[in-house]
Amino acid sequence: MAETLRIEAAGPYDLRLSLEAARAFSPEERRDEGILRLPLRLGGRLVLAELRQTSGTPVILEARVRGRLGEAEKKELHRLVGRVAWAGLDLRPFYCLASRHPVMGEVAGRLRGLKPLRPATVFEMAVIALTEQQISMRAAYQVRRMLLEKLGERVDGETAFPTPRRLASSSMAELRTCGLSERKAQYLLELSRRVAAGEVDLEALEGWEEEKAREYLTSLRGFGPWTASYILARGLGIPDVVPSEDLGVRTVTGTYLGGGGRVGAEEALRLLRPFVPFRGLAAFYLLAQHRLAEQGDRGARGGGGSAERGPAAPKGNLDI
């Protein structure tokens, strides 16, 4: 017995490419034929949704879940899948802007249909952002893997992100063994406790005006300007927001749009100006291009011979 829901997404969209980009940083090689196995909480119930894209236009995403779902659960599944796949984002206006720029036009053409995969909740996005502060993506990935392993909940072979309540009930020692610093463990505990207590509602930020949400986020302990921008961009899905102080953003904007290497935050913003109101999305495309090209290089060296993805990119440790 299974339920299959069909979710329409604003086209163009390429789920397989979006998955490939999202996993470009991951040390584990996952071959899953363009299917996203997504643990989701529908009300109090944890289910595994298998998400795939059916061919054709308009873009339809199929979400398959074992067992029966109630009407409210179906509605929630629809909302969450739409959120993760960013179904509401229409890429066409961005492509229109990109086509007027020689480099961005080429990158956007090559990565047509790419959208950032978004975490199912703003809380999860906030935790991800906390773990990614300062350390490399690979190091942060290991920390999150440990968090999932120790505190996550298993469902059909996948692990769901721990709830605020579960994180709030964990100990400093437990979080430290996941590789978090004392300080980040404190931030994470404080955030989780406040969210679990209902004192902080990150999900409610969805409808807020951008600057108000930014102000609120930076008022939380451990949330600086970089973290706030990252959450606004990917957690709340504001396509113009870009963490311009971000090392990766400064590298790729300098490399692809500027004269060469890493630039300062202000210069990065200046170089991204042609893509208002999609500056964050533009930066994401450059990061993805950079990362996928790098991965392609590795594959070629290893004899795997994965598809060419354009000009070789300078070395770095970038991710989306």
Distance CA 256, CA 271 (A): 10
Structure tokens at 32: 């899953």
Find the shortest distance in angstroms from Cβ 75 to DNA. 30
- Residue listed under structure tokens 């009300």: 43
Question: CB-wise, 97 or 188, nearer to DNA?
Answer: 188
CB-based contact 273:258 (threshold 8 Å): no
Structure tokens at 31: 């071959």
The single residue among 7, 281, 283, 313 that binds DNA, judged by CB under 7 A, is: 283
287 binds DNA (CB under 7 A): yes
143 binds DNA (CB under 7 A): yes
Torsion angles phi and psi, residue 57, rounded to 5: -125, 140
Q: Taking Cα atoms as reference points, which of 240, 200, 195 lies closest to residue 216?
A: 200
42 binds DNA (CB under 7 A): no
Interface with DNA by CB under 7 A: which range of 52-60, 150-158, 243-251, 304-312? 243-251
184 binds DNA (CB under 7 A): yes
Instruction: Report in angstroms the alpha-carbon separations of 292 from 19, 66, 113, 119, 262.
Output: 12, 33, 15, 21, 19
20 binds DNA (CB under 7 A): no
278 binds DNA (CB under 7 A): no
45 binds DNA (CB under 7 A): no
Question: CB-wise, 129 or 160, nearer to DNA?
Answer: 129
The single residue among 117, 249, 257, 271 that binds DNA, judged by CB under 7 A, is: 249
132 binds DNA (CB under 7 A): yes
Q: What is the DSSP string of 91-116?
A: -HHHHHHHTTSHHHHHHHHHTTT---
Torsion angles phi and psi, residue 154, rounded to 5: -80, 140
Interface with DNA by CB under 7 A: which range of 34-42, 72-80, 153-161, 220-228? 220-228
172 binds DNA (CB under 7 A): no
- The length of the chain in residues reads 320
Contacts with DNA by CB under 7 A lie at 27, 132-139, 142-143, 179-184, 218, 221-228, 230, 243, 245-249, 283, 287, 316-320
